Every structure is written in structure tokens, then in C-alpha cells.
Homo-oligomer: A and B are copies of this chain.
């Protein structure tokens, strides 16, 4: 039986991370208003969310600042303009995307409002990711390592990667279903594999799911029941392509009384419905189902939807070719 606390109880070690700005920023190029980000921050505090990932800290040498909102870069100053000294229980996270970050952009933790640096990496970039984990750890940050696109990774390579990451000072290793192609029964096996290394190296585990096959929530609670503690979600599922595990579903499932659904519904009512209507599309749709089913990157589906195409069969044939 799953170790989720018999559904009526709860596990103290569970942590919920709101990735709305970071993953949702991939939808609207990070053009969120300050008012929205502040309201999201307040909502996270009110709803008992444990971490708020406020954006990427991308390198300005790689990306043109004029083409993105500020949360692509998430400077300490910009974060402070939202959270001040963040004298709350909500921890602030940012993401370093390996190959598109710059270590020098990360000040010492003692000078920064950031608590946690999440290092996103493809498996072939692992040495650079480890370098970044070490750097962030040495500067005083909590760290996570998020290996992306594992559904296209050989299991032997993954084991090798987990062994390498286990030997770093990283706090949490994330299971990332980038393409939304993993079924819950596979997720159980992935959790078992990650769990072996987590146990060996005394690491925590996290899960970041995508909703291509309407399984983001199901995979998140599957992983939760399999011992994964860090659960990513976004409000109204906002996130690239099919989006993520919905915060409103996840907090309804979790029974720790610190989690509150009402503030989540309030933000959806007051902000998210409108934001969704005004933003490029996100959320479950047929083209995302197709890329998920075929274990492909969603970029062609995003393009298909942006072009307002409805010729699903033609698109499906293209994917199969």
C-alpha cells in the first residue's frame, strides 16, 4: 500500500513548490505584472505552500533582456521588490538552466533573498550541473538537481547520473517528466529507482510533472505515495504546453492542515481565469496528448496551437514520420 499516510493522515516531510512564474513564464515570456507576482506570493503564504519558484536566473549573455520579462533573470533586487526580506515560512527558489546560466550571477546566500537554487539539466550536461550545484551549495543555498527528459534517457545512463548527483552536496533530486509521457505505473518504477540512490546518498526526492496525458496530478500523487516529498505544482496548471500539476488539485489531496484551498480558488477567480484568457494557450489539448503519447518534446504542439490549426490527423501523421 502507498505510503501517503492512509489518505486521511499526512506526511510531515512533504513540501509543495509553486512553479507558476518559472514554468508559466515559458508561456508568456515571463511578462507578469508586479501586482500579479505579489499577489501570487501572498497567496502562496496564505495557502501554506512551502516554496515559490519565482523564475529562472538566466544569463544575460545568452538571452536578450529586452525580449523577456524580468523573471527570466530574477535578479536579487527584483525578487526583493516583491518579497522584501521575505520574513515568512515560504522559501524562494530560482532555477539555473544549465548551459544558459552564469555562476557569477549568483551572490552569496547571505546577500540574497533566494533560499533554494534548482539546477535543471539534461543528462549530457551533468558535469556542468554538478559544478553549479557545488557552487550554489558553497554559497550557502539549498539546492535541487532536476534531470530533464528522463523518458528519453537510457536507464543505465540515468543510474550513472543518479550516482554522480548522489555524491554532490545537493539536497533534493527531482524526477522530471518533461514530455508528460510517463504513466503512473511507470512512475512507480522511476520512484523506486530514484529511491535507491536517495537512500544510499541521503537525499530527498521531488517530482515535476506535465499534463500532456492528463496525468500530471495522478503522477504527482503516485510519486508522493512512493516516498517523493517535494511536489511541484502551478496555479491553474499554468506551464509550458500542457502545463503542470494543478495547485488546486494537489492542495485538495494533501491533508496537512497547513495547506489551504480557499486562497488558491481566490487567486484563480481573481487572476488566473483572466490571465489564461489573455495569454498564449496552455493546458491539456489534443496536440499535447500526441507528443506525450509519442514521447516527444512539445515544441511542435505549441507551434500547432499558436497557429490555430485544427488538422489533428495531419499533425499526428507528421509526428509519426
Contacts and interface: CB of A to CB of B under 8 A. Distances in A.
Given A248-B289, A289-B249, A269 B214 contact: no
Contacts of A4: 185
A184 B266 contact: no
B293 A252 contact: yes
A253 B289 CA distance: 11
A284 B221 CA distance: 18
A252 B183 contact: no
A218 interface: yes
A249 B214 contact: yes
A140 B185 CA distance: 39
Nearest to A273: B310
Interface stretch (A24-32, A117-125, A311-319): A311-319
A214 B213 contact: no
Interface in A214-253: 214-218, 221-222, 225, 246, 248-249, 252-253
B218 A268 contact: no
Given A218-B214, A218-B218, A248-B289, A268 B184 contact: no
A155 interface: no
A286 interface: yes
Contact of A316 (B1, B265, B316): B265
Contact of A310 (B217, B261, B269, B289): B269
A262 B218 CA distance: 26
A286 B268 contact: yes
Contacts of A311: 269
Interface in A1-17: 1-2, 4, 7
A128 interface: no
Contacts of A218: 184, 214-215, 217-218
A34 interface: no
Interface string A283-297: 010100110010000
Interface of A is mostly: helix
A186 interface: yes
A183 B221 contact: yes
Contact of A313 (B7, B221, B253, B262): B262
Given A214-B249, A218-B215, A316 B262 contact: yes
Given A252-B289, A310-B273, A7 B186 contact: yes
A1 B222 CA distance: 14
29 contacts: A2-B185, A7-B185, A183-B253, A184-B222, A185-B221, A213-B252, A214-B214, A214-B216, A214-B284, A215-B217, A215-B218, A217-B218, A248-B286, A249-B289, A252-B289, A261-B293, A261-B316, A262-B313, A265-B286, A265-B312, A265-B313, A265-B316, A266-B313, A268-B286, A269-B310, A269-B312, A269-B313, A273-B310, A284-B284
Interface string A246-281: 101100110000000110011011000100000000
